Chain A
Amino acid sequence: MTVPYSLRLSLQRLFGEIWINLLSILTIAAGLFIVSLSFIPVYNLDVVAKKLPDKFSMIVYLDNSLNRNDINQVVNSLKKNKEVNSIRYISKDEALKELKSTLRDSTFIFEGLDENPLPDSLEIKLRRDAVDPNAVREFSEKAARIDGITEINYGEKFLSTIYYLKVGLQTLGTIFIIIMSAGIIFVCYSTVKILFYRRKEEIETFKLLGASKGFIRTPFLIEGAFIGGSGGTLSLIGIYLFSYIVFFRLADKVPIFKSVAIPENLFLSLPLVGILLGITGAVIALGRLKY
């Protein structure tokens, strides 16, 4: 019986103090909306950053004097490293063909070239988790010691960019989420605290009539959950409207918006996030009820 009555009580209070509650709901909605909005670029950068390791490869140039057997030996000793995902052999002829096709419009460069100046090479793809600046440097130092390898090439700049992008995004995202959650919890806290103080007399009467702590607290928790949940739902509606307008309407005019990904499933959890933050705020506001 307690829960339905508590529910009725909290609904009465919610609508009885509609303005303060509406204000809190709007504040929370705005907060969650801003978090969600700034999450879109973070999310997109993250999607890109996740794909980058697949694009990363190292080129190992081989000594010209190696025969097939020697090359196989080099490949085998490279494969012994657990960082290696796959190795592709590129003969000097293939390399030249590739180069020619890339420079299709400038074939004059190759005129008068009777001998292929390119060495044989190996293209190494590393495992996803091995693509970070330190691991790659260690690996290349190790690889350089293998007989028959003359030179190792990889995009160091590219590599550290991926890495710092990833770390930076994570840190920035975490800090941002912590600050915003704290803000939202504070809004719920203040709302419930205000509701609580406005009802001080009533709560005192409840206590004198024999109400338990749970009986007194439950309506406030429901109110916190309701305020947080409404704020979350409102921000969800807001973010949908916003992304509809920006990414579908404006995409015709500004093509870059077409490729923007929206983490829809993540946003669907906004009401739930709101509820949790609301309850947290209420719990902190009520603290330890004393008799």
Chain B
Amino acid sequence: MIEFFDVTKEYNNQTALRNITFSIEKGEMVFVTGTSGSGKTTLLKLIYLAEKPDKGEISVAGWETEKLKESSIPLLRRNVGIVFQDFRLLNNRNVFENVALVLRIRNMNEKDIRTKVYHSLKTVNLRHKSDSVPEALSGGEQQRVVIARAIVAEPTLLLADEPTGNLDVDTAAGIMRIFNEINAKGTTVLIATHNRELFKNTGRRVLRLDSGNLVGEEAE
């Protein structure tokens, strides 16, 4: 599903990722961990093409990203659900419309949109907030809207950047349960987190980043 070969990424001559090579199989659930600034977000951004590598090759869902035409980038992104670390919720529309946007972009009809959006909001226990503006929600609620938006289109790949950063232990456990269910249905899941509790004793593979270097990928 995801392959990195000798990938290096620099921001203004400062290396964020150095000679990274790894691969993630279809249907796997994998974690990326490391201290703040170790390059977790950068690694995810390379996958959804928000950034380009300075060196090396990346392939996602069978697409070699380097050879991908500009017009095909939306097609690749439609296979990917993303939980952004900075949320990227739009405050000029309500929660329902924020989640529905993903489906409108995919030209889905209004009836299916309603069904899927409400289902997705119910999954994260926010059905009752669908008319609220994101600004009017708590940090944890906003985070769950972002998760609802990431899963609503049933992506083949789910990228989650600190998905439990603003959540209490119980709610975080609930979110992890959702991710496990989605993964069980076949979606490949990649979660970036510095919260060890999320992957401790799960038997899942953990990619460890240290100052941009991949220093381990064994399960914990």
Q: What mask results when residues 45 to 59 of chain B are scored 1 for a CB within 8 Å of chain A, else 0? A: 000111000000000
Interface size on A, residues (CB 8 A): 19
Indicate if the CB atoms of B71 and A210 lie closer than 8 Å: no
Please indicate the chain A residues that have their CB under 8 angstroms from the CB of B104 in the complex. 1-2, 5
* A291 to B80 Cα, complex, angstroms: 16
Interface of A is mostly: helix
Does A206 count as interface, using CB distance less than 8 angstroms? yes
* A5 to B108 Cα, complex, angstroms: 11
* A212 to B101 Cα, complex, angstroms: 13
Please indicate the chain A residues that have their CB under 8 angstroms from the CB of B92 in the complex. 12, 16, 202
* A205 to B101 Cα, complex, angstroms: 10
Please count the residue pairs between chain A and chain B whose beta carbons lie under 8 angstroms apart in the complex. 52
Indicate if the CB atoms of B88 and A206 lie closer than 8 Å: no
Q: What mask results when residues 138 to 175 of chain B are scored 1 for a CB within 8 Å of chain A, else 0? A: 00000000000100000000000000000000000000
Please indicate the chain B residues that have their CB under 8 angstroms from the CB of A210 in the complex. 74-75, 77-78, 80, 102, 105-106
Does A256 count as interface, using CB distance less than 8 angstroms? no
Indicate if the CB atoms of A215 and B105 lie closer than 8 Å: yes
- A8 CB to closest chain B CB (Å) equals 10
Does A208 count as interface, using CB distance less than 8 angstroms? yes
Does A213 count as interface, using CB distance less than 8 angstroms? yes
* A210 to B207 Cα, complex, angstroms: 27
Please indicate the chain B residues that have their CB under 8 angstroms from the CB of A16 in the complex. 92
Instruction: Categorize the interface residue count of chain B.
Output: 20 to 34
Q: What mask results when residues 172 to 210 of chain A are scored 1 for a CB within 8 Å of chain B, else 0? A: 000000000000000000000000000000101111111
Indicate if the CB atoms of B74 and A212 lie closer than 8 Å: yes
* A2 to B109 Cα, complex, angstroms: 9
Does A254 count as interface, using CB distance less than 8 angstroms? no
Given contacts A213-B71, A290-B70, contact A206 B105 (CB under 8 A): yes
Does B82 count as interface, using CB distance less than 8 angstroms? yes
Indicate if the CB atoms of B71 and A208 lie closer than 8 Å: no
* Cβ-neighbour of B105 out of A12, A202, A209, A291 (below 8 A): A209
Given contacts A291-B70, A291-B73, contact A211 B90 (CB under 8 A): no
Given A208-B84, A212-B74, 13 new contacts (CB under 8 A) = A1-B104, A1-B109, A16-B92, A202-B90, A204-B88, A206-B105, A208-B50, A209-B82, A210-B80, A210-B105, A210-B106, A211-B74, A291-B73
A-B contact list, 14 entries, CB within 8 Å = A1-B108, A1-B110, A5-B104, A12-B92, A16-B92, A205-B90, A206-B105, A207-B77, A208-B50, A210-B78, A210-B105, A212-B74, A213-B71, A290-B70
Binding site for B on A (CB under 8 A): 1-2, 5, 12, 16, 202, 204-213, 215, 290-291
